[in-house]
Amino acid sequence: MTAIISEETRTRDAIAAAGKSLFDRGLTFGSAGNISVRLSSGDMLMTPTNASLGALDPARLSRFSAEGVHTGGDKPTKEAFLHQCMYCKRPQSAAVVHLHSTHSVAVSILADTDPEDVLPPLTAYYVMRVGALPLVPYFPPGDAALAEAVALRAEKSHAVLLANHGPVVAGATLTDAQYATEELEETAKLFLLLRGSAIRPLTAGQKAALLPQAPPPDRHRPE
């Protein structure tokens, strides 16, 4: 008889697998970065403090209640609030990936980028997976003011770039959040490789055609 694997067990294993994939490919290092997934109950699993994403123990992930209270597992990361404020503003999201990936961090340090949308639309896949990428001003790690700044940007974008720190990306699933984070890092790498060269990014029209279209107005709604 085949055993039924619970949602939580599958999610714990998926977080560990995603962490190892990111670590093995050099997208994170040491104990930097964190991953979370929100369960159907509203509770949340997150990689704990001082843990390498390349060697996660699924049983030791931090667990939070739907209200954001730490209820089990290892001591949580001080960056837990980054995940919580993304979920608060993006109820459709079920996963968040935060990395200190090299090229994305490098772009976050540049002085001449547009804080409303840091990277140009270099490829269709970047536009489809990331869209706009606003820059959140620098705050020290763990500063509560950073949560407010991230929440403000998260209202309109599922991906933000923390100045001198790294990306925070939400997705409908863990796979969506991971792939979008990877696409962001590769686009940041392309952007840095192309600096000083004349470039031909997608036009405004080409970009708009790739973005989700706003729903039509409700004709029965009273003015």
Are the C-beta atoms of residues 114 and 134 closer than 8 Å to each other? no
The SS3 of residue 22 is helix
Q: Residue 164: left (phi > 0), alpha (psi -120 to 50), or beta?
A: left
- Which of the following is catalytic: 7, 116, 125, 155? 125
The type of residue at 122 is: L
User: 179 an active-site residue?
Assistant: no
Distances (CA, A) of 45 to 10, 82, 160, 215: 11, 14, 21, 33
The SS3 of residue 16 is helix
User: 7 an active-site residue?
Assistant: no
- Which of the following is catalytic: 79, 182, 183, 186? 79
Distances (CA, A) of 127 to 96, 159, 174, 209: 18, 11, 19, 10
Q: What length is written for the chain?
A: 223
Burial of 15 (0-12, 13-18, 19+ CB in 10 A): buried
Catalytic residues: 79, 125
